[in-house]
Amino acid sequence: MLTAKPNPLTFQELIFTLQKFWADQGCILQQPYDVEMGAGTMSPETFLRVLGPKPYHVCYLQPSRRPADGRYGENPNRLFKHTQCQVILKPPPDNVQDLYLQSLQAIGVELRKHDLKFEEDNWESPTLGAWGIGWQVMLDGLEVTQFTYFQQCGGVDLEPISAELTYGLERLCAFLQDVDSVYDIVWARDPKTGREITYREIRQAEELQFSVYNFEYADVEKTWEHLRLYEAECKALLDEYNAKSKAVREKKSESLDDLKRFPILPAFDLCLKCSHLFNLLDARGAISVTERVGVIARIRALAVGVAKAYVDQQSDTAAAAVNS
């Protein structure tokens, strides 16, 4: 068998190595955000942090749950829940592409022996009111990373621009270990006994059961109800924040603290809940044509509302209005 290296990284070593690499480049290491979401981009570490002027460099893992992608643990390449390693560089350094290539070398890819191409792939999420320009990075014909210069997020034009690197870890690891199924990935190797623990042992049951739930068991009525409840609460919070902010700007209120302590971050959690529940209903086949467009618009309104409120809360103008 041909492999890139005699001892390719295990899944967990791959994670350590990438995190160490980006920490050495000055990134904050964050933990995965503990709310279900479809992509690492939706984490507040990206969605909110790219807004506003404050520089921020962060690296984190994010389990990404996509109910419709579940294959009952049977498909060797498709997962309901896969792991993204997400790096945000705000603003991006001039040598951002070189840094990325170094990260590949760090995980054991000898670039001289491989074929690497940056192919146009612009990323867009209408639900998040977000889009960017970039590439899919192809390594020997395999898409290993999505590389995006964010231009807009939550309907807000970004300044500065952030670079986002998203590594699909299962896919990358299967490539490094030269296995044909993600379930054959070696997750860990016991340092004493050398016993290997595979991705299958750790995750396959979860893939199966969540596929069964997502496609067969999820209670459609209750899921709709959850969606409505989370949406209503998120909306109520946003409405209240906007009223308070308006009062401050019009100098009818002096309570800047009221704004600063206002729970916009929790409002975003509620928005994430809605997005996941929508994905679940979609996988369940419970959303009709007419509803679909409407629900996407509703979630987008929440995401855009949170982004605007977040920018407002962070901005100095709110403070200035009070201090003047």
Find the shortest distance in angstroms from Cβ 53 to another protein. Answer: 10
What does R_g of the chain's alpha carbons equal in angstroms? 21
**Residue whose CB is less far from another protein, 142 or 243:** 142
Gap between the Cα atoms of 46 and 158, Å rounded: 12
Find the shortest distance in angstroms from Cβ 168 to another protein. Answer: 13
**Residue whose CB is less far from another protein, 117 or 246:** 117
> Among 25, 29, 27, 30, which residue's Cα sits nearest to residue 56?
27
**Residue whose CB is less far from another protein, 178 or 196:** 178
Find the shortest distance in angstroms from Cβ 175 to another protein. Answer: 7
Gap between the Cα atoms of 166 and 252, Å rounded: 45
**Residue whose CB is less far from another protein, 29 or 116:** 116
Find the shortest distance in angstroms from Cβ 111 to another protein. Answer: 5
Report which DSSP code applies to 267. Answer: H
| 154 burial type by CB count under 10 A (0-12 exposed, 13-18 middle, 19+ buried) | buried
> Among 207, 209, 220, which residue's Cα sits nearest to residue 283?
220
62-97 burial, b if ≥16 CB within 10 A, otherwise e?
bbbbbbebbeebeeeeebbbbbbbbbbbbbbeeebe
Find the shortest distance in angstroms from Cβ 212 to another protein. Answer: 17
Find the shortest distance in angstroms from Cβ 316 to another protein. Answer: 18
**Residue whose CB is less far from another protein, 159 or 250:** 159
CB 61, CB 15: distance < 8 Å: yes
**Residue whose CB is less far from another protein, 34 or 115:** 115
Which sign does the torsion angle of CA 275, 277, 279, 281 carry? negative
Gap between the Cα atoms of 37 and 225, Å rounded: 19
Chain residues that interact with another protein, rule: CB under 8 A: 2, 4, 75-78, 91-92, 94, 97, 101, 111-120, 122, 132-133, 135, 139-142, 149, 151, 159-161, 175, 178, 180, 285, 288-289, 292-293
